[in-house]
Structures are given as structure tokens and as C-alpha cells.
Amino acid sequence: METESNFLNIKDVSTAFKIDGQFYDAISHINLQVQHDEILAIVGESGCGKSTLATTIMGLHDPAETKISGEIDFEGTDLLKLDDDGYNEFRGAKIGMIFQDPLSALNPLKRIEDQISEVMDYHTQMTKAEKHKRTLELLDEVGIVNPQRTAHQFPHELSGGMRQRVVIAIAIACKPDLIIADEPTTALDVTIQAQILDVLRAIQKENHAGIILITHDLGVVAETADRVAVMYAGQIVEQGTAEQVFNSPEHPYTRSLLRSMPQRDNEGDDLYVIKGNVPSLQKMPSTGDRFAPRIPWVPESAHEADPVMHEIAPGHEVRCTCYKTFQFPDEQKGSVTV
């Protein structure tokens, strides 16, 4: 995947949080690439480190409470080597971020227009009139029906969907090359979700941006993503194109996730439930397959001692060798009776 068009190259990035004086990895040794014009989806259940990855790229962690190692190469600059002022040159200008909860992501005391034009204050030389014009354009672009009116409103006067559109408008105001969308549709109802995703796609087409879409909603991924990275317990366990991951999932965790999703062909059956929970940061095993405790029927020998990514098809990588023999318990039963 090391091609010229990768403008974002995340190499071996780990982020550790300080808990009771000790550092624990929330994400460990992440390798990812993003190209222009592509949507990379990062999926995984709550607590797997998706959002930590996003805030690490954005440099939003308090350096006193976190330890970050590795390299984030963004168009030739290693973001992790920048100080706060240096980072501010990128935040908002070249990297835009869309947050999960639109209800709290906007300052309740500022008019929408001020919140949008604030980005331009720091990254452009535009005059007041130009900024006003651009704000209205942006609001129109994200599908707000009456930009003039909305620009003068306060966040509490807008619905959740409209606020998320405003948050998107802020993120794209300076035409960033990278947009990080951290569960942009989680707080919204289904009809609005689809509209928001359409807006994201339209923006991407126009700006040729790369989008990192973080979600736990596999439906959203199937609909929008070009490539998918599946995360479990702070690691990427499988990545590939959307077709590869959805049509021929290999890692037990990916397969479990897809199996636990309601689908037309398993109508009437009980949904599959992955037993157990993601281990907490303090209890994260340092070696071995982190998903092993949740598939206890798989013999120890099937796992690698220190699982690494294996490329099984061009662009399709899977962690650990256990995928080769992995079967669900009912499949095993089936194979015995046949």
C-alpha cells in the first residue's frame, strides 16, 4: 500500500494513557495509510481505540497525561514532532474533524456564523465580507436550506441534524486534505444519517479529500467506505478494501462482527453474540492474540505467540494465523454430522 498518493502515513503509532501514574496503551502499533479521494472506515466496538486514534492524529491529547510514539507522516511532515503552535497550522486548515455529538460540539453562546468563520480567521487572509460569503456557501454546501437565517442563529435553535451539518461545515471550511469523522452519525436518527453521509461523499468528490470515517455501524461502512480497517483492543486486526472485508472476511473478530449483524439471510435466527468484553486498558495482555479469550473454543496452538499482520491478498491483511482454521461452534457441529 506504499504508493505515491498516500498523503497520510501512520507508522507504528501507539498512544498510552496515564492511569494511576502508569501508562497503558490505548492503541498499539497502528499502521494505516490514507489516499486522496478515498474513505477509509475504521470499525470496532466501543473501547477498541477508534476515537483515540482520531484524537491522536488531531493532536488533541494532553501531553502530560499521554505518551505517543511512532510517526504520523502528513504530506511530508511528522505531526508528532510538532509543538502546539505548529499543530495549529494543520488543525482546521489541512485536517478537519467532525465530532460524534453535535449537540455539545458547538459553543452554545456563539452564533453559527461566528463559529464557522473562526476557522477562517486563523487559516486565511479573507476579509470579513469574504468570510461571510464563504460561510453562506458552506452552509449551502452541507445542505442547510436557509443559510442566511441559520448563520444568525444559535446552536440551541437548530436540530441535531442541522448542528451536525454545521460541524461538518466547520471541518471543511478551509478545504482540508484529510477529514476525520468520528462517528458522525451515531447521535442522529436513520433518515438524517443517510443525508449526512451523502453530504460527506459530495464534499469528498469536490475537494478530493481523504476521509477517515470512524464508526461502529457496519451498515454505514458497507454503504460508504472504500477501504476498511477493523480494530480490536487497540490493534488493527484486519484491513482491506470494503469488498474484501465484507465479502471474504478472514479474522475471527471481523467474522463475528458481521455475523452479529441482522441480515436478510439470517432472518428468524438468533443474532450471534460475541461473548465477553473488550479488556480494559490495565488488563490488556501484552502478548498473544488479544481476541483469543472471546473465542475460547479455538485451541491455543492456532494462535501466534505474537500475532503480526499477514497479507493474504493485495491490500488485504489479517492479524494472527488463527483465521486459517477458525470456525464458529455451530459450523463445527455441522461439519461433524455431515
Partner 1 sequence: MWKTILRRLLIMIPEVILLSVLVFLLAKAMPGDPFTGSINPKADPAQIKHLMEINGLNDPWYQQYWNWVVHLFHGNLGNSYQYQEPVTRLIEGRAGNTLWLAFFTMILTYAFALPLGVYAGRHEGKLPDTIIRFYTYVTFCIPVFVILVLGIWIFGYVLGWFPTTGSVSSDAQTWAQTVGSRFYHILLPSLLGALFGTVNIVQYLRSEVIDAKHSDYVRTARSKGVPSKDIYRHHIFRNSLLPIAAFAGYSITGLLNGSIFTETVFSYPGMGLLFVNSISYRDYTVITALVLIYGILNLVGTLLSDIILSIVDPRVRIE
- Give the binding range for partner 1 (CB under 8 A) out of 16-24, 103-111, 124-132, 268-276: 103-111
How many residues sit close enough to partner 1 to count as binding (CB under 8 A)?
Answer: 30
207 in Cβ contact with 264 (< 8 Å):
no
Q: What is the CB-side half-sphere exposure of residue 183 using CA atoms within 13 A?
A: 21
Alpha carbon distances (Å) from 325 to 182, 301, 322, 330: 34, 11, 6, 14
Which residues lie closer than 8 Å to 332 by C-beta, 6 or more apart?
A: 297
- Give the binding range for partner 1 (CB under 8 A) out of 115-123, 245-253, 279-287, 300-308: 115-123
Q: Of 42-101, which residues contact partner 1 (CB under 8 A)?
A: 58, 60, 84-85, 87-93, 96-97, 99, 101
By CB under 8 A, tell whether 19 contacts partner 1: no
Least distance in angstroms from the C-beta of 103 to partner 1:
9
Query: What distance, in Å, lies between the first and last C-alpha atoms of the chain?
Result: 41
323 in Cβ contact with 311 (< 8 Å):
no
Contact code string over 157-186 relative to partner 1, x by CB under 8 A: ----------x--xx---------------
- DSSP-based three-state secondary structure for 47: coil
- Give the binding range for partner 1 (CB under 8 A) out of 75-83, 117-125, 250-258, 307-315: 117-125
By CB under 8 A, tell whether 331 contacts partner 1: no
Q: Which three cell numbers stand for residue 132?
A: 461571510
Query: 118 vs 223, which CB is nearer to partner 1?
Result: 118
Query: 74 vs 90, which CB is nearer to partner 1?
Result: 90
Q: Which three cell numbers stand for residue 233?
A: 483492543
Least distance in angstroms from the C-beta of 110 to partner 1:
8
By CB under 8 A, tell whether 148 contacts partner 1: no
Q: Of 118-147, which residues contact partner 1 (CB under 8 A)?
A: 118-119, 122-123
- Dist. CA 183–CA 261, nearest whole Å: 18
Name which position in 39, 106, 162, 197 contacts partner 1 (CB under 8 A): 106
| CA 35 to chain CA centroid, nearest Å | 15
Query: 99 vs 253, which CB is nearer to partner 1?
Result: 99
Name which position in 83, 109, 265, 273 contacts partner 1 (CB under 8 A): 109
- Dist. CA 240–CA 227, nearest whole Å: 6
Least distance in angstroms from the C-beta of 199 to partner 1:
18
User: Parallel, antiparallel, or unpaired: how do β-strands 235-241 and 227-232 relate?
Assistant: antiparallel
Per the listing, cell 455501524 goes with 217
Which residues lie closer than 8 Å to 59 by C-beta, 6 or more apart?
A: 79, 80, 82, 84, 87, 90, 91
Per the listing, cell 484486519 goes with 238
- Dist. CA 193–CA 184, nearest whole Å: 8
Query: 135 vs 256, which CB is nearer to partner 1?
Result: 135
Least distance in angstroms from the C-beta of 100 to partner 1:
9
> Which residues lie near partner 1 (CB under 8 A)?
58, 60, 84-85, 87-93, 96-97, 99, 101, 104-109, 118-119, 122-123, 154, 156, 167, 170-171
